[in-house]
Structure 1
């Protein structure tokens, strides 16, 4: 949808059929979505077929999706030195956890801890992406000393000087730390509540 709703002409290509530089972001995001769509589709197919290698293949395809997501965010065409780059850098840590636990899950399919950590990391990814949407593109939430600038058809967060940029990046680091604690508390509490509920229900 990003490829066709955002552009003024409702299609992402240039007049000569090439990809313009201001739409590279859109193609990168769409590629990540396409990979996860392929993963989800094959997961459904493998589940319907009931293959003996269903679990391993599903985990393998999932690891490919996370690996590509990690690669694209690492080589993202966005500014790696700015505030958005700091959000992307920290996001890569969470994606790496998702990728690693998915790979380990191939060899340890019955490990609760591996599945729990992977699920928590995916939750973290979603929450972090939502936070990025608020903090990078809503004027009321941008850090002091920074502003939204339109560059190559995209809104980009810029800061007035090195001090403002350093402060903004430090705030991003704090947000990540708070989210890490918050997601951990939520995930463990959620598990303990439901574990207690089902344990009482069984006995």
Structure 2
């Protein structure tokens, strides 16, 4: 996943999945807020049969392609092992990246096997307990967090700061997945989770730009290190400035994403929600007053 293109493509994948899930949970909540229930994935209802599982197939296909490129396709010898079948130090990061993706593949595969034909998608049905797909999703994000936190490349400096901020987003994904097991009807929890998935993709794309020489922070440059290209700054002041800018970027992207999501939520509820399910307080008081008068007239007639 090193370099611009690797981070960019993986980031685009997270963004697309996150936006797809955000759109579905917002529309689902707007249609029927009283019966809303969280889901770990959503079917494409425009298609029938196996095509409705496109989200899960996209995750599985993308995961397999990523693992193949990390371990075989992009390798000089077309395999990641030394002649004595041991893993060389320089290739450990590729095994770590592939292991993260392996758990995403297992999550999507399990979710597909759990589905029992529910047209809205989800992990209900069958004889296995509900929420198993959520639990597998939490495990996948937990492994991603663990492997980034204990990464063999030991990201330091500016690059390490970017990865530390990424771990915060992954942690939110883990917590939300676990919370959905206890509060399956909480819109806010699943709303935050889908935003976190989208934001993880956005930040991976931004992390990719860090490896483009033109976008290197002022006073810093890309050099070849023992584990590949890395960002090296000329002074401590340049490092402090670069880290502060990364934190500001993180906050600005988060503000833009949250604002956009809230506007989308307000728009959908305003224009597509069933009107009878959203009464103002004044309307409720007025309706209660009418009912009270009807009951009084009925009583007075006896």
For the criterion TM > 0.5, the same-fold answer is: yes
Write the distance in 2 (CA, Å) between the matches of 1:202 and 1:77: 56
Q: Which of 64, 80, 101 is equivalent to 1:33?
A: 101
**What are the Cα deviations for residues 121-169 of structure 1, in whole angstroms up to 9, with x where unaligned?**
11110111011111x2111111011111112351111111212111111
Q: Which of 144, 156, 172 is equivalent to 1:97?
A: 172
Q: Which of 74, 82, 89 is equivalent to 1:6?
A: 74
After TM superposition, list the pairs within 5 Å mapping 1:36-185 onto structure 2: 36-48=104-116, 50-51=125-126, 53=128, 55-134=130-209, 136-152=210-226, 154-185=228-259
Larger-Rg structure: 2
Q: How many residues align?
A: 202
Q: C-alpha displacement at 1:45, in angstroms?
A: 0.6
Please, which moves more after superposition, 28-37 or 191-200?
Answer: 191-200
Taking a change above 3 Å as real, the CA distance of residues 24 and 202 of structure 1, as seen in their structure-2 partners, is farther
Calculate the TM-score normalised by the size of structure 1. 0.92
Cα RMSD of the aligned pairs, angstroms, is 1.9
Write the distance in 1 (CA, Å) between the matches of 2:85 and 2:271: 58
Moved over 6 A (4+): 200-203
Calculate the TM-score normalised by the size of structure 2. 0.63
Please, which moves more after superposition, 23-32 or 187-196?
Answer: 187-196
Write the distance in 2 (CA, Å) between the matches of 1:14 and 1:161: 38
Taking a change above 3 Å as real, the CA distance of residues 202 and 31 of structure 1, as seen in their structure-2 partners, is farther
Q: C-alpha displacement at 1:110, in angstroms?
A: 1.2
Write the distance in 2 (CA, Å) between the matches of 1:193 and 1:4: 46
5+ unaligned residues in a row in structure 2: which ranges?
1-68, 118-124, 278-302
Higher relative contact order (CA 8 A, sep 6+): 2
5+ unaligned residues in a row in structure 1: which ranges?
none
Please, which moves more after superposition, 79-88 or 110-119?
Answer: 79-88
